[in-house]
Structure 1
Amino acid sequence: MRNRTLLLALSLFALLWSSNARLSAAERPNLIFLLTDDQRFDALGCMGNSVIKTPNIDKLAAEGVAFDNAFATTAICATSRASYLTGQYARRHGVVDFSTVLTPEAFQQTFPALLRAAGYRTAFIGKWGVGNNLPADQYDYWKGFAGQGQYFVDGQPHMTQRLENQTLEFLDMCQADQPFCLQVSFKAAHCQDGPGWQFRHAPKYTDYYTEDRVTPAETANEEGYASLPPQLQGGESRVRWERRFDGDEMLQKNVKDYYRLLTGVDDFVGAMVAKLQEKKLADNTVIVYTSDHGFFLGEHGLSGKWLMYEPSIRIPMIIYDPRLPQSLRGPHLDEMVLNIDVAPTLLDFAGVKAPAVMQGRSLKPLVEGNQDKPWRTEFLYEHLFPHPTIPQSEGVRTKDWKYVDYEKTEPKLEQLFDLKNDPHETTNLVGDPKYADKLNEFRAKLDRMRTELK
């Protein structure tokens, strides 16, 4: 009887393995997921920024695929990180603050848990960011930490260097006969919260960008701030602007410090790729590079993120697959891709079926040039985090339009922007009779998405 039970269990395991791990061991690539913090979409050389120096990341884009229209479905770190793990919108995974954690059942449906179950060796290094209950026992290699962490700790290297050291240590332990999935979650380019030095880069970058001049955004001025609706003035976004971007001298220093932190990340990428080459793992390792959300560098007289303006929600997204033929390397794709797409993408590269609870779509067909189904043309934005001076909001972004609903403000605020003709989002068309039908169309879209995507 015991033997029959054992045989049945082995048969069930084999069935699950065959359905969830569709690729042979030799076909399964290693996976590296690099997640920066607060990195806006244009803070890379390959995304058109002529000041910042990011040659190693730019090389990933030149030899891989870059997405020019990538977005976070929510611009706050804990919620977005949960969306990366689960492939779900916030209203489904339920992490809308800094204390909520994924339940054990929910974690088993995340990409690291599913990859581990499919035979991948999993590792997490850096800022966990989804509550303070750290899932160290759910990974084979764990160097994660709770909270924001500190860039400088007495007697230790700068945080980005510490993450690099841990990454190289992990890669030194990897072997070609077992695929791995490595997540590295940076603090950079997040500020050190509170007053004082905001973007605390390593001393080696102090002289970077000293001869450059950063051109402020068109709305990074008092006129841009004064034109904001009263419901969006004041509050945390303005407090943080006063610490970082109040006047040209402060703006120049802090934007350059922000860039210096990201150049540190770029050096990390160079060291990581060199280690992959040394270990003869480079030819079978897929790298995904992105950020949890964007960041205001003074636009509209603001700092931080949270709001549904473009600098806050647009992110970099690069996928590097060394197995791609030369003809598929280097494009910048226009498809609208989201943070919730990363989990099903990583699973797809591994040959593991994404669970039905995931709401994102795999980007692998786009990378490989064989997407044969219509791609999304709109998405839902959610900022459900409760805060006394940051209004909650939801909205819909399409290719040319954006609608935002601040349901709990007094009075209630709505915004409608024609992005094609108003890319800086300065003219709110709500209240203009010519756009009444368009406004009602987007109100209906949002109501439908609120229901369907939960």
Structure 2
Amino acid sequence: MNRKPNILFIMADQLRADYLGCNGHPNIRTPNIDALAARGVNFNRAYCQAPICGPSRMSFYTGRYASSHGASLNNAPLRIDERTLGDYLRPEGYRVALVGKTHMKRDDEGMQRLGIDPGSSLGVLVSECGFEPYERDDGLHPDQSVDPDLKYNQYLRSKGYGGHNPWHDYANSVEGDNGEVLSGWQMRHADRPARVKEVDSETAYTTRRAMDFIKEAANSPWCLHLSYIKPHWPYIAPAPYHDMYGKNDILPAARSEAELRDPHPVTAAFMQHAESREFSRDEVRERVIPTYMGLITQLDDHLGQLMAFLGERGELDNTLIVLTSDHGDYLGDHWLGEKELFHDASVRIPMIIVDPRPAADVTRGSRSSRLVEGIDLLPTFVDYVGGGKFDHILEGRSLLPLIEGRDEIQWRTHAFSENDYARRGARQTLGLPPDQAKAYMVTDGHWKYVHYEHFQPQLFDLAKDPFELEDRASDPDCAAVCQELESALFRWFRERRMRVTVSNTRVAKSTGMSHKRGYLFGLW
């Protein structure tokens, strides 16, 4: 390595952990992602810290749980004082950039209070979650809120796709039998090809923009957050990916009639949402899931192109590569659509890390069942580049000891996630005020326990019931398990990092030094 290693931090939006060939899906084709797993470590028990876009991503970018950074809702501003990935890596000489999505909303009130101009260099960084916005595109552009400066729309217009919002009218719409435009917001159209050529689709465009950045940043170490929008809805894929899979490729839904007859109150409220009602129908699953799978294979093909590009430039041996997702997608499992609750379909994420150093050879091509959290990536990156110690702020743990096969280390015994569903219709159905619609998950790898404010908990035996079909919380034989996991959750609450302005090292050095500093209290 002639200079500090690069970091390629790839995130696919709403990609389920079990929809990869290397994670056991029998029908999906993901040879390039599988190849990454063969070159690195595949962490098959990785969990996001909030199973919804914004809060999950803010946890990835801060290395902190949602209850610590406070941006627990989509479009809840991330406080201006929260450090993010760029704040840790830029002092180490890195160019830290974004291509794609963050779902971050800036803290306008905080910026105004501190007199920070959003257009200044500092203002841009705190507006963009600490990233240099090489190209930001959050991927959802309804007609009434199209950003006129959105580069992807400008690109589409330059290619002859006209109209006010070609993102919708071409990239995420299809043609009917009579040539009419049919919106991708309606899932019934998911089996038709997008109106754009594949080369002009969001995934293809995002990959090329990543390559543009890598070329431009050739003379300095870089960290690129390459954040793909798909396979997140609208579930529309360009040809040939729109019909690459059929209903025979779909796995049976992980759900039972008992779940439908006697659901947990919170689950029952989420079952009433439109996406859950629709995905409970086989017709919808058979129309949508093949396209979801096609979008994943398209992503895989472009990752193959990107890896070849890095290889041609001689960068593969000097680049740490991470592939993950912000959360999963129910796709009808448990009679639910979307995400947000804590079944593995929603909260478990893919996590593949390829470390090119010889020190990582001992684990190359392995699968790890250690409990890993999304917030572990930021401290891993800091550790990887030789950054400082921030154990008073960062709540995740560096994964380098696991990647280097240091089995003697004491690893975490539990993983956690949380959900603030204040903006969802389920809260109103349940009659909760906005500050009481909260839920928390803890798992030790064998059991998964979910605490709901104002409602009974849930408990699943992941060892005997991996599809989480039987809630054991009311089983007297499981009372001790519930108590142990509830205690673990309480310990987790007590361990949050809230003293973020003074390091543990500084506190340790100043302990018991009052008299030497001249504060002579307590003397006779």
SS at match of 2:45: strand
Q: Is the 8 A contact 1:152 1:159 kept in 2?
A: no
- 1:4 aligned partner: none
- 1:123 aligned partner: 97
Alpha-carbon RMSD? 2.3
Q: Is the 8 A contact 1:225 1:302 kept in 2?
A: no
SS at match of 1:332: strand
- 1:148 aligned partner: 140
1:49 to 4, 25, 28: 25
Counterparts of 2:242 and 2:252, CA distance in 1: 21
1:63 to 1, 17, 39: 39
- 1:407 aligned partner: 453
Moved more, 230-239 or 294-303: 230-239
- Counting only pairs closer than 5 Å after superposition, residues 257-276 of structure 1 correspond to structure 2 as 257-276=291-310
Task: Identify if the C-alpha distance between structure 1 residues 149 and 377 changes in structure 2 by more than 3 Å, giving closer, same or farther.
Answer: farther
TM-score by length of 2: 0.74
Q: Is the 8 A contact 1:123 1:142 kept in 2?
A: yes
- 1:365 aligned partner: 401
- 2:62 aligned partner: 86
Task: Identify if the C-alpha distance between structure 1 residues 27 and 349 changes in structure 2 by more than 3 Å, giving closer, same or farther.
Answer: farther
What is the one-letter code of the residue matched to 2:461?
A: D
User: Post-superposition shift, 1:424?
Assistant: 2.3
Counterparts of 1:34 and 1:439, CA distance in 2: 36
User: Post-superposition shift, 1:223?
Assistant: 4.6
User: Post-superposition shift, 1:142?
Assistant: 1.8
- 2:16 aligned partner: 40
2:352 to 308, 318, 322: 318
- Counting only pairs closer than 5 Å after superposition, residues 55-454 of structure 1 correspond to structure 2 as 55-106=31-82, 109-131=83-105, 136-137=124-125, 138-140=130-132, 142-146=134-138, 148-149=140-141, 152=168, 154=170, 157-175=200-218, 177-192=219-234, 199-210=235-246, 212-219=248-255, 222-235=257-270, 238-247=273-282, 249-324=283-358, 326-356=361-391, 357-386=393-422, 387-389=424-426, 392-408=438-454, 412-453=455-496
Counterparts of 1:145 and 1:354, CA distance in 2: 32
What is the one-letter code of the residue matched to 1:431?
A: S
Q: Is the 8 A contact 1:125 1:183 kept in 2?
A: yes
Counterparts of 1:406 and 1:436, CA distance in 2: 17
Task: Identify if the C-alpha distance between structure 1 residues 361 and 223 changes in structure 2 by more than 3 Å, giving closer, same or farther.
Answer: same
Counterparts of 2:479 and 2:2, CA distance in 1: 57
Counterparts of 1:359 and 1:30, CA distance in 2: 23
Consecutive unaligned residues of structure 2, counting only runs of 5 or more, are 108-117, 143-166, 172-195, 428-436, 498-524
User: Post-superposition shift, 1:222?
Assistant: 4.7
SS at match of 1:340: helix
User: Post-superposition shift, 1:210?
Assistant: 3.4
Task: Identify if the C-alpha distance between structure 1 residues 132 and 152 changes in structure 2 by more than 3 Å, giving closer, same or farther.
Answer: farther
Of structures 1 and 2, the larger Rg is shown by 2
Counterparts of 1:363 and 1:234, CA distance in 2: 37
Q: Deviations over 1:91-148 (max 9, x none)?
A: 1111111232233331xx3222221221111210111212156974454452013463
Q: Is the 8 A contact 1:286 1:321 kept in 2?
A: yes
Task: Identify if the C-alpha distance between structure 1 residues 415 and 235 changes in structure 2 by more than 3 Å, giving closer, same or farther.
Answer: closer
Counterparts of 2:363 and 2:465, CA distance in 1: 33
Q: Is the 8 A contact 1:127 1:148 kept in 2?
A: no
Q: Is the 8 A contact 1:89 1:340 kept in 2?
A: yes
Counterparts of 2:345 and 2:133, CA distance in 1: 34
Counterparts of 1:236 and 1:70, CA distance in 2: 26
SS at match of 1:289: strand
SS at match of 1:290: strand
What is the one-letter code of the residue matched to 1:148?
A: L
Q: Is the 8 A contact 1:237 1:303 kept in 2?
A: no
What is the one-letter code of the residue matched to 1:300?
A: H
User: Post-superposition shift, 1:388?
Assistant: 3.4
TM-score by length of 1: 0.85
Q: Is the 8 A contact 1:222 1:301 kept in 2?
A: no
Q: Is the 8 A contact 2:250 2:289 kept in 1?
A: yes
Counterparts of 1:377 and 1:46, CA distance in 2: 25
Q: Is the 8 A contact 1:125 1:185 kept in 2?
A: yes
Consecutive unaligned residues of structure 1, counting only runs of 5 or more, are 1-24, 193-198
SS at match of 2:405: coil
What is the one-letter code of the residue matched to 1:398?
A: D
Q: Is the 8 A contact 1:292 1:315 kept in 2?
A: yes
What is the one-letter code of the residue matched to 1:127?
A: K
Moved more, 262-271 or 434-443: 434-443
Counterparts of 2:339 and 2:400, CA distance in 1: 29
What is the one-letter code of the residue matched to 2:253?
A: A
Counterparts of 1:164 and 1:153, CA distance in 2: 21
Q: Is the 8 A contact 1:132 1:146 kept in 2?
A: no
SS at match of 1:43: coil
Q: Is the 8 A contact 1:123 1:182 kept in 2?
A: yes
SS at match of 2:334: helix
